[in-house]
Chains A and B, each alone.
Chain A
Amino acid sequence: MSSHALSHLQALEAEAIHVMREVAAERERPVLLFSGGKDSIVLVRLAEKAFRPGRFPFPLMHVDTGHNFAEVIAFRDRMADELGERLVVASVQESIDRGRVVEETGPRASRNRLQTTTLLDALAEYGFDAAFGGARRDEERARAKERILSFRDDFGGWDPKAQRPELWNLYNTRVRRGENVRAFPLSNWTELDVWQYILQEQIEVPSIYLAHERRVFRRDGMLYADSEFIARDARDSDPFRASVRYRTVGDMSCTGAVASEASTLEQVVAEIAATDVTERGETRADDRVSESAMEDRKVAGYF
């Protein structure tokens, strides 16, 4: 290897910083979608690398389903505070209260799908014309097809058959009023890359990513938190205590935990390197709805 070779994490980092700077330079009102999950935490670190010692040229925005993990919400608020950057919270509960969406009912109800409307309303309300997201192409096969800069029409929708060609590192960020682009600086990162980067950078993550004791119950082979937001039914197991951690953090109603003893970042990296189940396959019920669940959600405007 020549002396000037970059490590794969350095190369991914350089690419992501370039993407963030391009979008920030060319779009008038970008926003960074920040959920308190590991991918958006890495996005925030990359934004620090791209724009410090200046301020971020965009606020952070969380689309809060109201059914999120308390540990993650506390982390989100503390992190925004420490960063000294503005945090906008778009609330699914408010969308329900205003009658924009109707809450699902029944034992397997989830607020996950309702997020799309809240997101699109918030983009329109604040006039955001570009939204950074922490999505990765390795997550799911429809994501594997998406460009780093994903053009969305004035309904927020994605047309997978009419994507803009995306050559070299020349990103076309142009949109008309009402349209927006979703920018995915982590497109080329894998779940393992994200954890290796978190370890390398010693970035703090919400405690639920590390092994902890929690009351859970088993549903469809997944472990769900025993919570007031999720009604159990006859098909679910009784709650029991287990040592678990989370691979993704999202709406509690569709995010499962994994049995784990990994309580340090080193142990998490080792566990992810050895796993034989994908992140979304293991812990995300929303992708199991149909063969093209993710594609369908993205066509409708999901990030």
Chain B
Amino acid sequence: MSTLLRLATAGSVDDGKSTLIGRLLHDSKAILADQYADLNGRDGELDLSRLTDGLKAEREQGITIDVAYRYFATPNRDYILADTPGHVQYTRNMVTGASTADVAIVLVDARHGVVEQTKRHAFIAALLGIPHLVVAVNKMDLVGFSEEVFDGIVRDFCGFRRRLSSPDVAFIPISALNGDNVVDRSEAMPWYGGAPLLAHLEAIDPADDRNLTDLRFPVQLVIRSEGNDFRGYAGQVASGVVRPGDRVRILPSGVESVVASVETFDGPLTEAVPPQSVTVRLADDVDASRGDVIVHADGDAAAVRELEADVCWFAERPLRPGARYLLKHLTQTVDVVVDEIRDLLDVHTLDRHAPPTELGLNDIGRVRLRTRRPLVADPYASNRATGAFILIDETSNDTVAGGMVSST
């Protein structure tokens, strides 16, 4: 059985990201002949960036503006690769590509070592709770495949890393251009004892990173049929496991019931786990609707109206205290007001600065929010599904921020 692994890659302009992606796709035979023929630049040389720069503006300017999604497969698993832009001004697009990733690959140019961009990319990956980080030290061929250079970069990164909370970090010396340690082990770096990049990715099991303890089942919609008395709550399991017979509570009302069955089009299930989309039927005729969350009766979930969160600000118009937005969390959208900006994060030093008067485009800072209706939210660090939200500007309908709950 093949499983799915979601990757996000980030790197500076010349770190060789396109080459690495091209190499992964090429070596897993995901670039087909007609695409290959299309990769010849004007000067006739093979240009792998043409694979990921799908927009006219990107090809004209030679930079990546938005996330490109690419797909490749090995006999073991299928990969979704979000190639995210590295520029500061496209932070929102990097966050878009990285929010769903199981693994972040941050590229470092061996000649330049850990630079500001590396820190920013690693920090954003950690902030988004990506469980696995791979620091791919590229262009090892240009530093004579030097173990000392590699060790120095690992040391630098670890000095910085102490301030990040990335659970799993691997360092891999590669040459994307030559294919060293990408798919095949490099003979030029016998001193490296770890696995090549692809073998490392193959061994990661994203299912291990799911929260299977705390049931959170957000109701998306109520399904009824005219012919019989079917009434079920459709949704995607956000965390935990739901089984028939489970005693559950509907939040925010607090009404209790028992799971009568877990239904799908293909028949009932004995259990459903994240991220399965199912329909839950309850034993009692209770009142539940879109936006409600079904949790285990003995769990400690609670509905809150005030929370602190880190937000990445995406809009030209700054975030200011007192402003009102729409907040979308799980399956409900509520009015929210920004009570206070607590601090501004320096994404290079990770210092938290004194409260600013506003958050500008691409700023990340901690805010205190008050919602009109209660949310069943958890800290993002313990639950990536129930700790995440977006803010929407009610006038423009733009998505103006991504948010991660820090405490409720």
Contacts and interface: CB of A to CB of B under 8 A. Distances in A.
Interface of A: 1-2, 4-8, 10-15, 17-18, 21-22, 24-26, 48-55, 137-138, 140-145, 147, 160-161, 163-170, 172, 174-176, 187-188, 190, 192-193, 275-278, 281-282, 291-292, 295
A54 B231 CA distance: 9
Interface of B: 1-4, 32-35, 51-57, 59, 65-71, 73, 77-78, 80, 92-93, 95-96, 99-100, 205, 207-208, 210, 212, 220-221, 223-228, 230, 234-236, 241, 264-266, 273, 275-277, 290, 314, 326, 328-329, 331, 333, 384-385, 388-390, 392, 397-399, 402
A14 B390 contact: no
Contacts, number: 189
B92 A292 contact: no
A7 B276 CA distance: 11
B174 to A, nearest CB: 24
Contact of B277 (A18, A52, A163, A188): A18
Given A5-B205, A172-B399, A145 B392 contact: no
B77 A8 contact: yes
A147 B100 CA distance: 13
A199 B225 CA distance: 29
Nearest to A9: B2
Contacts of A193: 78
B2 A7 contact: yes
Nearest to A278: B32
A2 B208 contact: yes
**Which residue among A48, A50, A167 has the maximum number of chain B CB atoms within 10 Å of its CB?**
A167
A206 to B, nearest CB: 22
A103 B212 CA distance: 58
A11 to B, nearest CB: 4
Contacts of A49: 264-266, 277
Nearest to A26: B333
A53 B68 CA distance: 37
Given A138-B71, A174-B397, A281-B35, A166 B96 contact: yes
Nearest to B402: A167
Given A4-B207, A25-B220, 17 more contacts: A6-B3, A14-B275, A26-B333, A138-B70, A141-B51, A141-B54, A144-B70, A145-B54, A147-B96, A166-B96, A167-B96, A170-B328, A172-B392, A190-B78, A275-B32, A276-B32, A291-B56
Contacts of A11: 3-4, 275
**Which residue among B67, B208, B388 has the maximum number of chain A CB atoms within 10 Å of its CB?**
B67
B71 A52 contact: no
Contacts of A137: 69, 71
Given A53-B225, A165-B93, A8 B78 contact: yes
Contacts of A140: 54
A167 B390 contact: yes
16 contacts: A6-B4, A6-B275, A6-B276, A17-B236, A17-B277, A49-B265, A53-B228, A137-B71, A144-B68, A160-B66, A163-B66, A165-B95, A172-B390, A174-B397, A275-B32, A277-B32
Contacts of B275: 6, 11, 14-15, 18, 169
A51 to B, nearest CB: 6
Given A49-B265, A167-B99, A174-B397, A21 B69 contact: no
A138 B399 CA distance: 25
A5 B55 contact: no
B1 A141 contact: no
A168 B93 contact: no
A50 B234 contact: yes
A8 B2 contact: yes
Given A176-B397, A282-B34, A24 B221 contact: yes
B34 A141 contact: no
A165 B399 contact: yes
Nearest to A57: B221
B57 A21 contact: no
Nearest to A292: B56
Contacts of A291: 56, 59
B172 to A, nearest CB: 23
Contacts of B57: 160-161
B208 A175 contact: no
A223 to B, nearest CB: 16
B388 A168 contact: yes
Given A166-B399, A172-B397, A160 B55 contact: yes
A165 B96 contact: yes
Nearest to A191: B71
Contacts of A10: 276
Contacts of A54: 223-225, 230
A12 B392 contact: no
A50 B222 CA distance: 11
**9 A-B pairs closest in CB distance:** A141-B54, A281-B34, A17-B277, A53-B225, A8-B4, A5-B207, A49-B265, A8-B78, A167-B99
A188 B69 contact: yes
Nearest to A176: B397
Given A2-B208, A5-B3, A168 B223 contact: no
A194 to B, nearest CB: 12
A144 B25 CA distance: 14
B55 A1 contact: no
A172 B328 contact: yes
Contacts of B235: 21
**Which residue among A21, A54, A168 has the maximum number of chain B CB atoms within 10 Å of its CB?**
A168
A76 B221 CA distance: 28
B205 A170 contact: no
A195 to B, nearest CB: 13
